[in-house]
Amino acid sequence: MKRLLSLGILAVLAAASIVLAQTSGQGTLRTATGDQPFTFVLQSGQTYVNAEQVTAGLGGTLAPDSSGFRVTIGSATAAFGPDSRYGVVRDDLIEMPVPPISIEGAPYVPWQFFQGFLAKAASLDVTWDAGTKQLSVKPLQRDAVGVQVSVADVQGISKIVLTLSAPAEYGIVKEPQAYVVRFRVPVRAPFGEQAYEDPHISRVSFTGSDLRIHLTGADVAGDAYQLENPPRIVLDFRKGAAPVPGAPALPVPAPAREVPGIRTIVIDPGHGGREVGAVGPNGLMEKDVTLAISRKLAASLSNKLGARVVLTRDDDSVVSLDQRTALANQYKADLFLSVHMNAAVVKDAKGSETYFLSLEASDELAKKAAESENASAGSNPNADLNLILWDLAHQAYVGESSRFAQAIQEEMNAATAVANRGVKQAPFKVLVGATMPAALVEVGFISNPEEEAKLQSEEFQNLMVETLTKAVQRYKTDYETRIGVIQPAPAPAATTTTAPATTPAPKPATAPAPAAPQTRTER
């Protein structure tokens, strides 16, 4: 059966090899362990390599699957199929210039398959030299990566953010009273050693490509995740883990930190610039309504909650989805709300709905990746822990995001005649990677002419602003009550629907904001 399967796949691969084969020959696979011969074919300007021979030369195995071939090298598995110029490693695509082919019953892949596979799975660089006919495999040659370190106490959690000048491979090793971020590339360190007045982190030091985070006690536990744009590694430390046996406990300095709570809120007006979003039947553009409501909402939140509010855009400009979340993380926001208008093909669709992030697909695959990473770490006696968890930054905030979304939707239901479409989860890009409770509200259906007219009206926009302000205030009160913060006197009930837009908001005593980019507005 397996043989039949293999023959079937090869038959489809062969169908892709209609183009004239021009030259073939013997190449040399050059790795750190020596040279291995393999067969290659040059066809229509593309070099294809014998997948089985190259895989074997790399110490791996190639096996047929119901829909292609699996290549396993070490603990990493990649796959390719007939007719497809995409391979896959974990949930990441490997792009090839052309699909694989079959020659003499053997699968041949563009040499770029191995380049993509090994770069993504093993930090190895694969190059093909047509002159010498060498396929070389060596560690990725990169310039030294710059690392900036910032430490902040966020709601009782010590958060250390390592901002990298470029993406870099790394592992995290747990020592009795330290965590070591072990970069696999040269590092440009901003300092040799620096002390911090932090409840969980005493100092940070660099030794070669190792960044060592010294903890204040053996009972401090860490968690880590990655963020993109710019590439960052974030480690959260808190008390709670059992002391590592044999590790002396250090006295913990008295915490001197700010009162936690909802202090900084990022409001994200959806779309902008050439990305107009949905357009109503009478021409109203989503990007314009989101900006109008968000501006008013920012002013309202500043005035009524005393919050520091940041807009991801304050004009008709394009802001990438990654940038929006990155901005919220950069400002260490306590809350993120993306404002949108909905659209549907159902003409009379109406109502509001509120989303928070679901990562169903990512969860499953990331767990497998983490298991794989942890299994690899387990085989290394120096690695007690490996915390590379892809971009599951938001996981820790899903529960709070759900509460936040619920508060928004309930206030929308109570205050407006807009139909209730409920609280939902979806893998929305703008919510991915937010390291705070985050939600996306769809205020109404701009595709419905009746709702389009409402969304355009000042009166309805003001009602939405008032409603969303109440929702944020309600969530803030709920959250701060749950974490035991003494509440200030409640804000007076809103008597007007639009707050002045120019009143500056007080800033928190700590967590200073980075310089605001020109396109951001802080209120």
Partner 1 sequence: MKRAVAVALLLGAVLPGGCRKKAPVSGNLNVANKVAVRMVRLYFESPQMQLVAEPRNIALPESPAAAMPVVVRELMKGPIAAGGKSLRLFPADTVVRGTYLLPGGTVVVDLGGTTLSQGWGTGSHQELLAAYSLVQTLTANFADAKRVRIVVNGSPAETLAGHVSLSRSLVPAPALVDAR
Q: List the interface residues with partner 1, window 264-293 (CB under 8 A).
A: 270-271, 274-279, 286
Closest contact distance (angstroms) between CB of 253 and partner 1 is 41
Strand ranges across the sheet with 61-65: 61-65, 68-73, 76-80, 86-89, 92-95
Give the C-alpha distances (Å, rounded to integers) separating 511 from 111, 118, 293, 403: 49, 40, 27, 25
Q: How many residues bind partner 1 (CB under 8 A)?
A: 80
- Please identify, using beta-carbon distances, which residue of 41 and 145 lies nearer to partner 1: 41
Inter-axis angle of helices 286-305 and 458-482, nearest 10? 50
Which of 35, 59, 74, 83 is the binder for partner 1 (CB under 8 A)?
Answer: 83
Cβ proximity of 168 and 184 under 8 Å: yes
Which residue bears the tokens 């006690």?
A: 217
Closest separation between CB of residue 393 and partner 1, Å?
14
Is 214 a binding residue for partner 1 by CB under 8 A? The answer is: no
Select 136 or 425, whichever has its Cβ closest to partner 1.
Answer: 425
Amino acid at 456: Q
Residue placing its CB nearer to partner 1 in the complex, 147 or 468: 468
- With CB under 8 A as the contact rule, the residue among 30, 43, 118, 292 that binds partner 1 is 43
Cα 139 to Cα 200: distance, rounded to the nearest angstrom: 35
Which two three-digit tokens encode residue 149?
């370190």
Site for partner 1, residues 440 to 499, rule: CB under 8 A: 440, 442, 445-447
> Least distance (Å) from partner 1 to the CB of residue 238?
28
Least distance from C-beta 518 to partner 1, angstroms?
23
From residue 483, give the alpha-carbon distance in Å to each of 38, 312, 399, 480, 486: 63, 28, 14, 5, 9
Q: How far is the CB of 87 from partner 1 (least distance, A)?
A: 7
Question: 226 vs 303, which CB is nearer to partner 1?
Answer: 226
Tell which positions 87-106 bind partner 1, by CB under 8 A: 87-88, 91, 93, 95, 102-105
Q: Are residues 38 and 126 in contact, defined by beta-carbon separation less than 8 angstroms? A: no
x/- track of binding to partner 1 for residues 318-357 (CB under 8 A):
--xx------------------xxxxxxx--x---x-x--
**From the CB of 79, what's the least distance to partner 1, in Å?**
4
Specify the residue, 20 or 509, whose C-beta has the smaller distance to partner 1.
20
Provide the 3-class DSSP secondary structure of residue 171: strand
Only segment of 66-74, 153-161, 241-249, 514-522 that touches partner 1 (CB under 8 A): 66-74
Distance CA 502, CA 523 (A): 7
**What mask of x and - would describe binding to partner 1 in positions 149 to 188, judged by CB under 8 A?**
----------------------------------------
Give the integer Cα–Cα distance in Å for 171 and 175: 13
Give the tokens for residue 254. Answer: 């008295």
User: In this structure, what token pair is assigned to residue 482?
Assistant: 């749950």
Q: 384-443: which residues touch partner 1 (CB under 8 A)?
A: 424-430, 432, 440, 442
Please say whether the beta carbons of 111 and 49 come within 8 A: yes
